[in-house]
Amino acid sequence: MAVQQSKVSKMRVRIRHAANRYRGVEPTNCSSCGAPCLPHRVCKACGMYGNRQVLNTGSRQG
C-alpha cells in the first residue's frame, strides 16, 4: 500500500488549484469580421456562426 511521504498543506493545495481555476468565458474575435464576440455564439456584427451565415445583417448580402 502506498503511503504518503508528507502532508500537502491547505496553502499548497490552494496554490495548485489557483493555477487552473475557471476564469470565465474567454473573449475572442470573430474569424470572419474580427469583431469581439463570445465563442460558440453567433457573431452579432456579421451574423456568422463558424463559416455559415445564420443571421441576416445589413453589412453582408443574404
Asked whether position 55 contacts Zn ion by CB under 5 A, the answer is no
CA 60 → CA 21, 45, 53, distances in Å?
39, 10, 9
Q: From the CB of 25, what's the least distance to Zn ion, in Å?
A: 17
Q: State which residue, 14 or 34, has the beta carbon closest to Zn ion.
A: 34
Rg (CA), the chain: 22
Q: Is residue 45 part of the contact set for Zn ion (CB under 5 A)? A: yes
- Per CB under 5 A, which region of 9-17, 18-26, 35-43, 53-61 contacts Zn ion? 35-43
Neighbours of 7 (CB within 10 A): 7
